[in-house]
């Protein structure tokens, strides 16, 4: 009887040890994946180079055959949530009215792409973009959708962010209206 009890105890420990080892191995893999996902990397350090105060000179086209409207604004860029996201807060005047806009950009380590959102007080929608770094332009090209206030439908949007040097960036925005892409905005950011 004593030998049977020892044998049963040994089998119980052996079966549970294997199960616990498998659980620990699975948990280790999950922890490793989550740690890689949440840890800021080179792309986040590149975004952090934009931290500071900037002057933004903006040109906006409603019709590409006409002269653009212009606007100057101030931009404050900060890293948020432990260096994971770059937030840019724009303030200025647009068409005689106060203007305020907020951009949030990050790099998704799991998806291996940049992600960004934009909101401002000239609308009630949220623009979402995602894309990749392009060596040929020394910048990030992002694509997404935004609301077309004229039709109430979504339209394709493309944004190109070019890092000219440590103190100059150029952001170009393109909208796809009626199947034709048109440059709608160009922002030149100069560090203050």
Contact 171, 187 (CB under 8 A): yes
Residue 55 pLDDT level (bands cut at 50, 70, 90): very high
Cα–Cα nearest to 90, from 121, 129, 61 = 121
Average pLDDT over residues 173-183: 90
The beta strand positions in the chain, using DSSP E, are 52-60, 69-80, 85-94, 97-108, 113-120, 127-134, 139-147, 154-165, 168-177, 180-191
pLDDT at 94: 87
Question: The domain spanning residue 64 has which CATH number?
Answer: 2.40.128.20
- pLDDT for 57 beyond 90: yes
Asked if 26 and 49 sit in the same domain, the reply is: no
Average pLDDT over residues 103-130: 96
- pLDDT for 113 beyond 80: yes
Contact 190, 168 (CB under 8 A): yes
Residue 187 pLDDT level (bands cut at 50, 70, 90): very high
- pLDDT for 27 beyond 90: no
Asked if 130 and 172 sit in the same domain, the reply is: yes
- pLDDT for 33 beyond 80: yes
- What is the span of the domain harbouring residue 18? 1-38
Instruction: Tell me how long the chain is.
Output: 192
Asked if 20 and 110 sit in the same domain, the reply is: no
Q: Tell me the pairing of strands 85-94 and 52-60.
A: unpaired
Asked if 73 and 108 sit in the same domain, the reply is: yes
> What are 78-109's pLDDT values in tens digits?
999 999 999 999 999 988 899 999 999 999 99
pLDDT at 25: 74
Distance CA 160, CA 138 (A): 10
Asked if 175 and 99 sit in the same domain, the reply is: yes
The more confidently predicted of residues 5 and 79 is 79
> What are 34-49's pLDDT values in tens digits?
888 999 999 999 999 9
Residues ≥6 apart with Cβ < 8 Å to 186: 58, 59, 68, 170, 171, 172, 173
Asked if 154 and 105 sit in the same domain, the reply is: yes
Asked if 116 and 183 sit in the same domain, the reply is: yes
Asked if 154 and 64 sit in the same domain, the reply is: yes
Distance CA 59, CA 128 (A): 21
Asked if 55 and 31 sit in the same domain, the reply is: no
Asked if 166 and 71 sit in the same domain, the reply is: yes
Asked if 59 and 153 sit in the same domain, the reply is: yes
pLDDT at 64: 82
How many structural domains comprise the chain? 2
- pLDDT for 24 beyond 90: no
Distance CA 161, CA 46 (A): 13
Asked if 72 and 119 sit in the same domain, the reply is: yes
């Amino acid at each position: 009887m004593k030998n049977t009890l020892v044998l049963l105890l040994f089998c119980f420990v052996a079966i549970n040890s294997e199960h616990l080892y498998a659980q620990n191995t699975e948990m280790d893999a999950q922890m490793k994946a989550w740690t890689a996902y949440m840890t800021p990397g080179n792309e986040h350090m590149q975004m952090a180079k934009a931290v500071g105060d900037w002057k933004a000179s903006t040109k906006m086209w409603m019709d590409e055959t006409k002269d653009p409207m212009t606007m100057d604004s101030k931009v404050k860029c900060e890293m948020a949530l432990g260096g994971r996201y770059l937030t840019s807060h724009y303030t200025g005047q647009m068409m005689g009215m106060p203007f305020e806009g907020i951009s949030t950009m990050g790099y998704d380590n799991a998806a291996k792409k940049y992600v960004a959102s934009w909101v401002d007080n000239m609308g009630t929608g949220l623009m979402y973009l995602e894309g990749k770094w392009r060596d040929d332009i020394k910048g990030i090209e992002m694509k997404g959708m935004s609301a077309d206030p004229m039709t109430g439908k979504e339209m394709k949007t493309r944004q190109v962010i070019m890092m000219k040097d440590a103190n100059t960036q150029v952001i170009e925005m393109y909208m796809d209206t009626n199947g034709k892409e048109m440059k709608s905005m160009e922002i030149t950011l100069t560090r203050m």
